[in-house]
Structure 1
Amino acid sequence: MVLINQRDRYGFELAQQISKHVEVAEGALYPVLRRMVADGHCTTYLQESTEGPPRKYYKLTSVGKDYMNELVTEWDKFVSGVANLLTEAEEEESKEK
């Protein structure tokens, strides 16, 4: 969602960007994109391409942007919680030595 929030993108472009950071099968991406459209988080449109057939671009809706912000907030809380757990575990381990 954050990639589509930056600008409208087509599926293969998303797969390329994601694969730079996380290993994910390209085939796994398209069901997620379809679900995002079905849930109203994205809309699609076709745009002509100089390199083949028209490309389907995904655009984040205002509902999608709100949902993305919720997910980012939840993720930040999760990461912070895990960091706190690791810090506490390290402190406990240091006390035991």
Structure 2
Amino acid sequence: MTDSIQVQLRKGALDLCVLAVLSRGENYGYEIANTLVTAVGMGEGTIYPLMRRMQNDGLVATRLVESSSGPPRKYYRLTPLGLTVFEAHRRDWRTFANSVEKLLGELE
């Protein structure tokens, strides 16, 4: 797989990945970024603009929590709309991935 295809696949799945992380519970920005860097190799710089967009779209809600070791942490959680969107995206992803797998299998 070429680098450009890898980048495009990551970009296309990033929203779904963030929603999946948050479907497991509330997380702060660094935790989300670290999880995505480890799991799918997404850069930390791409996460925060996405989180702002998701907040503006009503998919996530935030709260600030004071930290004894630095500045306050912003925690993100799915809203009811965010959960609905996540479930729809997950179904769409599975349908798409199954179709691609079927096609690849037919080509072997």
Question: Given the two structures, how large is their TM-score scaled by the length of structure 1?
Answer: 0.89
Of Structure 1 and Structure 2, the greater helix share is in: 2
Distance in 1 separating the partners of 2:22 and 2:39: 16
48-57 or 75-84: which moved more?
Answer: 48-57
Q: CA deviation at 1:86?
A: 0.8
Structure 1 equivalent of residue 60 of structure 2: 42
* SS in structure 1 of the partner of residue 71 of structure 2: strand
Counterpart pick for 1:31 among 25, 49, 58: 49
Q: 1:70 and 2:88 equivalent?
A: yes
Which residue number corresponds to residue 9 of structure 1? 27
Report how many aligned residue pairs link the two structures. 90
Unpaired runs of at least 5, structure 1: 91-97
Q: Secondary structure, in 3 states, of the residue corresponding to 1:24? A: coil
Query: For residue 39 of structure 1, what is the amino acid of its counterpart?
Result: D
Identity %: 39
Secondary structure of the equivalent of 1:17? helix
SS of the equivalent of 1:20 reads: helix
Unaligned stretches of 5+ in structure 2? Answer: 1-18
Distance 1:4 1:52 in 2: 23
Residue 50 of structure 1: how far off its partner (Å): 2.4
Distance of 1:46 and 1:64 partners within structure 2: 19
Displacement after TM superposition at 1:81 (Å) = 0.3
Which segments of structure 1 move beyond 3 Å, counting only runs of 4 or more?
none
CA RMSD of aligned residues (A): 0.8
